[in-house]
Structure 1
């Protein structure tokens, strides 16, 4: 039997309790969690493999590599740049999955407010495989509007991010 790790969810963002939730996962061979981690945590590489992200900035002058408690902002899904904060950061190692989570928020009128937790889990599996899981819970009217679209743009967008991440890490 194989046991796989799961995302660590703060109560506020528990899947199924927000306005929009998606889960995307790939398991591939011939790359490692360490290699994937490089492309996931170095934001200077994001736009080279994922076309749904823009305007990445670091208001406190840090970056481009993500780390615990880092504040950054980025645009995605047509929203103005979201204020993001890394709330979980664990580099993958032997027998330990990589964990990355950030909150991202947009303030304003109720129709504009958005509050999300985007989480990643990257782990090596037996037989030279790596598993990449990304899940996101969104709260707010813009999130509910995305959830009503078919297909859900966030589901497709995150799959594109996974596919691009695997492609970049495979080179």
Structure 2
């Protein structure tokens, strides 16, 4: 199976926080999942921890490499830039990733994240959806110490909602 491509400074094990969530489900394809993930304005429809989505610079609603966007999640207003955008193509995984940030550079409350998604069709009519996020900054250090881990639980809700939305769309 494929894995996430990590930029320098965001490799798991060398960041302040890391979370990984994955589902493998039968009866869906990457093509069916992709529209619900690549269009952030759809996120609040199936993921309650996402709100106030805005696409900057008159682009969208679907992300592209370089697209700037904003959303609120986990209590943070997050500015983001899409840094990886590989739509579904037969025989290779679809990939989506963004760099998100909150606060001013150098400030104690600064948070920088790399949130990546990988969706790939597997044998026997299954699809694998992997989402992983690394974080740097004092808020990330606090989140890493929180039990239960809000990032793991929140991203699992995102995955479950994504699967449900794709199933309902048929």
TM norm. shorter chain > 0.5: yes
| Deviation, structure 1 residue 122 | 0.3
8 Å CA contact 2:114, 2:134 repeated in 1: yes
SS at match of 2:36: helix
Q: Which runs of 5+ in 2 are unaligned?
A: none
- Distance in 2 (CA, whole Å) between partners of 1:160 and 1:28 is 15
Deviations 1:102-148 (A, max 9, x none): 00011236331000000000000000000000000000000111111
Q: Which runs of 5+ in 1 are unaligned?
A: none
Q: Partner residue of 1:65?
A: 62
The structure 1 segments of at least 4 consecutive aligned residues displaced by more than 2 Å after TM superposition are: 107-111
- Distance in 1 (CA, whole Å) between partners of 2:39 and 2:114 is 19
* 1:11 and 2:8 correspond: yes
Q: TM-score, normalised by structure 2?
A: 0.95
- Distance in 2 (CA, whole Å) between partners of 1:138 and 1:110 is 15
Give the alignment's Cα RMSD to 1 decimal.
1.0
SS at match of 1:67: coil
* 1:46 and 2:43 correspond: yes
- Distance in 2 (CA, whole Å) between partners of 1:169 and 1:105 is 28
